Structure 1
Amino acid sequence: MLIKFAGYSLLYIALYICIYIPFVGANIYLLISSYVLFGLTGILLAFNCAHDCVHNTFSKNKRVNKIVFYCVFNSQGVNSRLWHKRHIASHHIFPNVDGCDADIDDNPFMRLSPHHKLRKYQQYQHIYAVFLYLVYTLHWIFVKDFIYLGKKNLANLKDQTHSLAFIAELIILKLLYLTFLIVLPALFTTATFQQIMIAFIAMHFIISLFFVLTLIISHLCLETEFPEVNENGELPYNYYEHQLAVSLDYHPESKLANFIFGGFNSHTAHHLFPNMQHTLYTHITPLIREKAIKHKLPYHEKSIPRAIRSHFGYLKKLGAG
């Protein structure tokens, strides 16, 4: 874990410094490449380190986990505290449960749950989804965080309030993000402001697709279930059966995939054992699969291309009604 953190952090810093090298700023293609690689490294740093910090599995010291998570996550432009609450107190408890999982909260653009209202234009969501996915991180940074900031009730999270100090901190952090990625490069590199903006937007297009298509396939596919509560408010499965039913793995025993995706590819193991370091998922996944088959419980696994195809098939199915 420490080696990964050191490696990704050094690469993240080095790629940011590359933006200021004169010949990089003078060549739009090198500038875009530097921005894109910098953005992708930031995502991998979040996958491999910040996410473990949220679950207190990066370090035995909770203060270290908190500091690393705060620094890494906010350096991506998104607010760490807002996501932390959604991820721990909503998604991990009720994945794929309509009205309880903030990650599939009803929105006007995409129908992500079979229990959501179908809007007529959503019959084309499997086509226009890729265009929405291109701006996912930009939307998260400049729109979604502020929507969540203003929502008193979000899925199972009720009566949320935020202090003026927190709101001020959120705005300052976003201004710092824009300063480091746009203002300073525009002032101190050989690139023009227009070139900086092109590189910045190109970076977000690429990292958005990478981020969405490696995470969304973990839960939103044709194979995964969307359990519904009965009249007594009870779900059909116990906690562990539920996690098996709603999760999908891709290359879960691959050490390379584990190194790149920080265990998100072994999503069943992560949801069953969120307090375990992701570096152990390749070892426990065969046991999970074996026990699931033995007890006739669901276990879903695909390659990345097939999982992505399944996701878009799921969008098409939900768009049809």
Structure 2
Amino acid sequence: MTNPRFPKIKVSFHNELKNRIGEYFQQKGKSMTGNSQLFFKAAILLLTFIALYIHLVFFTPAAIWAILESIAMGLTIAALGFNVMHDGAHGSFSKYKWVNQAASNVANFLGASQHMWRTKHNVIHHTYTNIHGVDDDIEARPLLRLCDEQDHYKIHKYQHYYFWAAYSLLYIWWVFVTDYKKYFSLKIGEMPIKRLTFSEHFFFWFYKACHAVIFVVLPIIFVGPIAWLIGFLVMGLTAGFVLSIVFQLAHTVEHTHFPMPDEAGKMEDEWAIHQLKTTANFATNNRLVSWFVGGLNFQVEHHLFPKISHIHYPAISKIIKKACQDYGIQYIEYPKVRYAVASHVAFLKQMSRK
């Protein structure tokens, strides 16, 4: 299929934003990438994951503690994805390329192919946000219907009741199904991807094997298949739900749009305006939420400036808000998590109807 095209505007809103943000960093004398606070947080998360893994696999705690630690490991996997892998994949974790590659590579050891994810997320989702048939992140059929253009199935009538269960499947489905589907079909949704080089083929299977050893083989050897299965499901379902809900609160709520190209494949708005219409922030004054989700509650800032580390989002959000006010452009934001969740559920209910 032909990729949608955004109109080229000589004096664009995106250029205005880039000028204002560039002036801010020049005045402050700051790097756009991460700093010591981000590196310290990454170290805490990595050490937490290693400690939980060692205790669960090699010391076999009592059942109740094992369940609680498996939940904690699922939360830690999600936090590593938000804070380390995500910034690394966008090249914003560090000013050094090799550090960004190492941070991005965390995803491979956790079971998610970084090669496939970068294409799906960095290239497709960030360019064609919320465009049906292109953005694979809004494709959750047959379980969920997330925009008007998608087919309506009878099960969707109840999706605002069971969505939490569907979201919980994300991590396990991602690691064991969708990565392989993309690999063998050379497609992400309906979008074709480039053929893999020899090294890309090699590392795809190498990291899948590493994940299998770390998360399947060793735990089964040390704790047995039943204990492993229970612990892995608890961990995977926890990680899946948290990863899913953070994305959904950013793009599939009542006030976000799902624009489609015209018959010629042209979008109505320039790219930056499109991002503002399809993206929402939530709980930006909640420091705990911001710390845990790696600033992805500042999703507007992330979509407009993905190469800027999330540690700068609170500061640049003020600049972007002011620019939106100056130009009369809507800036979508929910002040609390529960308001965003309520809006998402209301959106699912709306999509549950034909």
- Per the normalisation by structure 1, the TM-score is 0.91
> Which of 39, 48, 62 is matched with 1:27 structurally?
62
Instruction: Provide the residue aligned with 1:104 in structure 2.
Output: 138
- Equivalent residues in 2 for 1:67-216, closer than 5 Å: 67-70=102-105, 72-105=106-139, 107-155=141-189, 157-158=191-192, 160-162=194-196, 166-167=200-201, 169-188=203-222, 191-216=223-248
Tell me by how many angstroms 1:141 deviates. 0.8
Change (3 A) 1:165 1:2: closer
Match of 2:101 in 1: 66
Q: Is 1:5 the equivalent of 2:42?
A: yes
Query: Where do 5+ consecutive residues of structure 1 fail to align?
Result: none
Matches within 5 A, 1:275-290: 275-290=307-322
Which AA in structure 1 matches 2:67? I
State how far apart, in whole Å, the 2-side matches of 1:257 and 1:131 are: 22
AA paired with 1:317? Q
Could you tell me which runs of 5 or more consecutive residues in structure 2 were left unpaired when the two chains were aligned. Answer: 1-37
Instruction: Note the alpha carbon deviations across 1:233-273, whole angstroms, 9 max, x for none.
Output: 22121111111111110122443332211111000011111
Deviations 1:163-214 (Å, cap 9, x if unpaired)? 56644543442332232223213323xx443122111111112121111112
Secondary structure in 2 matching 1:117: coil
| Rounded Cα–Cα distance in structure 2 between residues aligned with 1:74 and 1:139 | 15
Letter in 2 for 1:296: G
Instruction: Name 1:318's counterpart in structure 2.
Output: 351
Further displaced range: 277-286 or 103-112 = 103-112
Q: Of the candidates 73, 76, 80, which is equivalent to residue 38 of structure 1? A: 73
Provide the TM-score with structure 2 as the length reference: 0.83
2:340 to 307, 314, 318: 307
Return the match for 1:295 from 321, 327, 331.
327
> Structure 2 CA distance, aligned partners of 1:292 and 1:135?
37
- Is this contact kept in 2: 1:258–1:278, CA < 8 A? no
Q: For residues 120 and 202 of structure 1, do their structure 2 counterparts lie closer, same or farther at Cα, with a shift above 3 Å needed?
A: same
> 2:233 & 2:76 partners in 1: Cα distance?
16
Q: CA separation in 1, counterparts of 2:148 and 2:112? A: 29
Q: Is the 8 A contact 2:276 2:330 kept in 1?
A: yes
Say whether the 8 Å CA contact 1:240–1:272 is kept in structure 2: yes
- Percent identity between the two aligned chains: 27
Amino acid at match of 1:154: I
Give the letter aligned to residue 44 of structure 1.
A
Instruction: Kindly state the Cα deviation for residue 106 of structure 1 after the two structures are TM-superposed.
Output: 6.5
Residues 106 and 20 (structure 1), Cα distance of their counterparts in 2 relative to 1, 3 Å cut: closer
The alpha-carbon distance between structure 1 residues 108 and 124, as it changes in their structure 2 partners (threshold 3 A), is same
How many residues are paired up? Answer: 316
Which fold has the larger relative contact order, with Cα–Cα distance below 8 Å and residues 6 or more apart in sequence?
A: 2
d(CA) in 1 for partners of 2:235, 2:205: 22
Distance in 2 of aligned mates of 1:56 and 1:159: 21
Give the Å deviation of 1:26: 4.5
Matches of 1:167 and 1:121 in 2, distance apart? 38
Deviations 1:55-91 (A, max 9, x none): 1111111122112211x10122111110011111100
TM-superposition CA deviations, 1:258-314 (whole Å, max 9, x none): 221111100001111111110000111122223323322111111211212211221
Structure 1 contact 255–282 (Cα < 8 Å) conserved: no
Change (3 A) 1:254 1:26: closer
Which stretch of the first structure deviates more once superposed, 139-148 or 252-261?
Answer: 252-261
Distance 1:159 1:137 in 2: 22
CA-atom RMSD in angstroms: 2.0
Counterpart-to-counterpart distance in 1, 2:176 and 2:227: 21
Specify whether residues 107 and 161 from structure 1 end up closer, same or farther in structure 2 by C-alpha distance, changes over 3 A only.
Answer: farther
Match of 2:262 among 220, 223, 230: 230
Q: Tell me the residue number matched to 1:252.
A: 284
> CA, structure 1 residues 21+120, in 2 after alignment: closer, same or farther (shift >3 Å)?
closer
Q: Note closer, same or farther for the CA distance 1:192–1:28 as it changes in structure 2 (3 Å cut).
A: farther
Q: What is the distance in 2 between the residues matched to 1:263 and 1:255?
A: 9
**SS of the residue 1:320 aligns to:** coil
Q: Does 1:17 align with 2:49?
A: no
Q: Is the 8 A contact 1:89 1:157 kept in 2?
A: no
Change in CA separation of 1:160 and 1:111 when aligned onto 2, cut-off 3 Å:
farther
- 1:134 to 1:61, Cα distance in 2 relative to 1, 3 A: same
Q: Does 1:243 align with 2:275?
A: yes
